[in-house]
A and B are shown apart, each in its own frame.
Chain A
Amino acid sequence: MSDSVASSHSIPITLIGGYLGAGKTTLINKILSYPGLPPGTAVLVNDFGDINIDESLIRGASNDGTVIGLSNGCICCSISNDLSKALDELHGLEVEHVIMETSGVAEPARVWQHCHYPGFTPMACVVLIDASSYAARCQDKYVGSLVRAQAAQAHLHVVSKADLNPGFELHHLTPQLSSQDPDLIETILRWQHVDDGTFTDLLLLNKPSFRAQTWYQEETIARNSLDALLNNLGKSVQRVKGWVDTFEGIYKVSKVGSVATMTKLKDNEPRPTILGLVIIAYGDACSISESIEQAGALASGQITMTFSS
């Protein structure tokens, strides 16, 4: 299969991480049954064990049973403890995009390195956060550091089981979706992480994608500067979330579409550990970078902004 590394482009890999029970399998099942799943999507799972594939979707399986072909032109593939073998097998097939479930005890950053496998390239790391157990797990003597690392290494958080813990709040300036979000699958499929703030030429440039940039607040600003910032973001900006310190107090900020809400933190509420905003934009690379630049230019006139993606 050595000729396969000759293919001209690298296949992007989206990682789905998160601790045991955070909802990875549920999410994978949703992806597999998503009507808009583009042909050529390969879903890599640790084990077919809990995966539900509608019988009517199954078109055939490989001899050793590790690859299942689906009638929508996608495939589902079991890693079975040998990721390199699974990736080499994918190379012989017409695959455009890989969605890879990581083990519940994997650190996403370590698996991210694995995505540099010849012929592949990492695209985004999505980590599921179980709202009902996250806080307790972070303190666990065995997996506390692992669960914290998983959350810290994510490019996109998907909060699951929020119904079991409605007040759950994750103090991370990482873009965040709910597992109930109607656009969840589309957003995950199109999420693109950019390593160093420059847009790479590798991926999906002809297709719109989701990206996020984070503004870390260094100085206290005026409340009206914040209003101006939120009102003047480009059309490609889908969501804004974060905490901002103003001369009138700290505001929790959330903007979905054109509706922005700002809630002042009460004195008795805990102060967030990180101040800033995460801005999620959708569109082609050009429109996103313009929008981000606009926001940056606007803000730079009034406040110091440091962006990092």
Chain B
Amino acid sequence: MLTLYKARSVITMNPSMPRASAVLVRDGNILEVGEPERMQPWLEGQQFRLDEQFADKVICPGFIDPHLHPSMAAVLLPMEFITAMRWKLPWGDVEPVSDLPAFDARMQALHRSKPAGEPLFIWGYHQLWHGDMDKIRIHQVSNQRPIIIWHRSFHELYMNDPAMSMAGIDPAQIKPGLQIDIDKGRFFELGLGFAINRLNPWILAPEKYAQGLGRLKQVVHHGGHTSIGDLATGLFNLDAEAKALTEQLEGDNVPFRTRLVVHGTRLTQGGRKPEEGPAMAADLLRHNSHRLSFSRHIKLFSDGAFFSQLAQMQEPGYIDGHHGEWLAAPEELERHIRAYWLAGYQIHVHVTGDLGLELTLDILQKMQDEKPRFNHGFTFEHFGFSTPEQIRRIKALGGQVSANVYYLHELSNNYAKSGIGYERASQMARVGSCFAAGINTTVHSDFTMAPAEPLYNMWVAVNRINHEGQVMGAAEKLTQQQALEAITINAAHTIGIADITGSLRAGKRADFTVLDDDPLNCDPMVLRDIGICATVFEGRVFPIP
């Protein structure tokens, strides 16, 4: 059966024919993109269905987020959000809550909406907006219901007394230690681990986790994605994750495919040598199913977390003189990279600071000297800080970039004032230069670090506006065309699926994101508000209510 989709406009992301008005689909694949009158040779003598439900809409290639974390999202999504930034979630928009009274009022409202006794988990608190937190403040909302407040950065949480007794934590038994402030109900760093170990029955219970993955499925669909990358499969436990993903993200009702990129150092942990990794990773391919697939990709890590100011910075470093951290010794990172480079893998390395990037570039240079490779797809993931000189090196060494541009929106102001100063903070996510250099460049959410909304990322990349409304690093703005490339065809290249998706042309899968407005011709300021009315995954329509 053939289906002919007509639209107000079709944006193809095929540079040889950027626009069209219709797409002809058979069995989930595109037969032809173009004008209906030229498609007659396909249609003659065939039964076909004319589908005009998108006749006044704009069809784009299905959006792709090449780097997010379903397993982490599954833990977070069952919680209530109170956040300083807007989060659009399928079960309702989370409006920004940007001061102390508003936070407490929202907490109060959530408390009233829940059946008595049910623990209330809240995520998104940040002292910069919401003021200092402690359990006394939570007790003003309730000293009966267990309430747990998770910090935006995930690095600390607060509990009231009922929550502590629910988790079996007796304040009298906590000796003065540096990472639990028991009088405030505050748990951070290792103290956070202590708390989580005791909250696990509530947050990691199999039904909660399944509920979380179910919500993730909705989030991904509502963001307009038809493909995503899980950029650290095996972060918690490879077998358990693979099983849960198969149960939740495979099947006819799942409107997207997932490229699984395994966590390299976790893979060989427990006594295996990094050199054994490539064969172990290749073995995972036999588990591939229609929507869930490993490939010869591997994820490795360079420097520390961006939200915690642990990115490794070149001179002049951080204003307060602290240093970032390495997630592995440089020699260990090199050893892992070499193992996968020699085995022909596409390597994705988490880099946040410009020193982390410099190290990874030095290693890539060494690999090219030892065994030159073309079209290797080595990808710099997150790409917080960089220098113009490093952009040249990325280009010269054949690397590509997957940037978290949302950092610029939420963190550049903070980094300018209390991190590294305005100049470098305003130039985080130097993606304009990447495009100018001809580097394949995509953007991602790292969900739940940023909202899984490609149009929001597109808005940030095009406008470079921080949460205070100031333009940061205007020279690095992307055009709307570039930003749309970033969330479609370039993303597809990055996770190795450009042969089947990422643009609309004969032979590719019929993966569409259907928009109310044209993202290339609209006011750039409305990009993040464009309505998404449906996605089409392999020819099947999944409406977004």
> Which A residues lie at the B interface, using CB under 8 A?
1-2, 5-6, 10, 19-21, 47-50, 65, 78, 80-85, 88, 104-105, 107, 113-114, 116-118, 121, 141-143, 145-146, 149
Contact = CB atoms under 8 A, between A and B. Distances in A.
B175 interface: yes
Contact of A116 (B178, B196, B270): B178
Given A114-B179, A142-B355, A84 B330 contact: no
Contacts of A80: 269-270
B326 A146 contact: yes
A87 B79 CA distance: 27
Contacts of B325: 105, 107
B174 interface: yes
B175 A118 contact: yes
Interface string B140-179: 0000000000000000000000000001111001111111
25 contacts: A5-B170, A5-B173, A6-B173, A21-B331, A49-B270, A80-B269, A81-B269, A82-B193, A83-B190, A83-B193, A84-B190, A84-B192, A84-B196, A88-B194, A88-B197, A104-B329, A113-B178, A114-B189, A116-B177, A117-B190, A117-B191, A118-B173, A142-B312, A142-B326, A142-B330
A20 B189 contact: no
Contacts of B271: 47-50
A10 B175 contact: yes
Contacts of B269: 47, 49, 80-81
A78 B271 CA distance: 11
Given A2-B170, A48-B271, A113 B189 contact: yes
Nearest to A5: B173
A117 B312 CA distance: 27
Contacts of B359: 142
Nearest to B197: A88
B332 interface: yes
A169 B325 CA distance: 28
A148 to B, nearest CB: 10
Given A47-B271, A48-B270, A84-B194, A5 B174 contact: yes
B197 A84 contact: yes
A118 to B, nearest CB: 5
- Which residue among B272, B329, B358 has the maximum number of chain A CB atoms within 10 Å of its CB? B329
B177 A117 contact: yes
Contacts of B175: 10, 116, 118, 121
B390 to A, nearest CB: 14
A100 to B, nearest CB: 12
A141 B189 CA distance: 28
B496 to A, nearest CB: 27
A117 B194 contact: yes
B533 interface: no
- Which residue among B174, B177, B189, B198 has the maximum number of chain A CB atoms within 10 Å of its CB? B177
A105 B330 CA distance: 9
Contacts of A82: 193
B170 A6 contact: yes
A81 B410 CA distance: 29
B270 A118 contact: no
Nearest to A202: B175
Contacts of A6: 170, 173
Nearest to B317: A145
Contact of B329 (A10, A19, A81): A19
Interface in B192-247: 192-194, 196-198
Contact of B180 (A50, A65, A118): A118
B327 interface: yes
B150 to A, nearest CB: 16
B193 A85 contact: yes
Given A84-B194, A118-B177, A141-B358, 4 more contacts: A1-B197, A2-B168, A105-B328, A149-B323
Nearest to B356: A142
B173 A84 contact: no
9 smallest CB-CB distances across A and B, nearest first, come from A84-B193, A116-B177, A2-B168, A20-B329, A105-B326, A5-B173, A114-B190, A49-B271, A113-B178
Contacts of A141: 355, 358
Is the contact region of chain A dominated by helix, strand, or loop, or is it mixed?
loop
Given A5-B170, A84-B193, A84-B194, A113 B179 contact: yes
Contacts of B327: 105
A7 B508 CA distance: 64
Nearest to B302: A142
Contacts of A10: 175
A116 B191 CA distance: 9
A49 B277 CA distance: 14
B273 to A, nearest CB: 8
Contacts of B173: 5-6, 118
Given A143-B326, A143-B330, A146-B326, A118 B198 contact: no
A143 B193 contact: no
Nearest to A3: B168
A19 B332 CA distance: 11
A84 B168 CA distance: 16
A49 B267 CA distance: 13
B491 to A, nearest CB: 29
Contacts of A143: 326, 329-330
A114 B190 CA distance: 6
A195 B195 CA distance: 27
Contacts of A1: 197
A65 B270 CA distance: 9
Given A47-B269, A47-B270, A48-B271, A118 B194 contact: yes
A6 B168 CA distance: 12
A118 B168 CA distance: 13
Nearest to A121: B175
B174 A85 contact: no
Nearest to A10: B175
A61 to B, nearest CB: 12
B90 to A, nearest CB: 32
Contacts of A84: 190, 192-194, 196-197
Nearest to B190: A114
Contacts of A47: 269-271
Contacts of A19: 329
B179 A2 contact: no
Interface string B257-271: 000000000100111
B483 to A, nearest CB: 33
B332 A20 contact: yes
Contacts of A88: 194, 197
A1 B169 CA distance: 10
B323 A146 contact: yes
Contacts of B174: 5, 118
A84 B272 CA distance: 24
A81 B325 CA distance: 15
A2 B201 CA distance: 13
B292 to A, nearest CB: 24
A4 to B, nearest CB: 9
Contact of B179 (A48, A116, A142, A149): A116
B196 A78 contact: no
A177 B331 CA distance: 26
Contacts of A121: 175
Contacts of A49: 269-272
Nearest to B332: A20
Nearest to B325: A105
A109 to B, nearest CB: 11
Interface in B271-321: 271-272, 312
A6 B272 CA distance: 38
A282 B398 CA distance: 60
Contact of A20 (B312, B323, B331, B358): B331
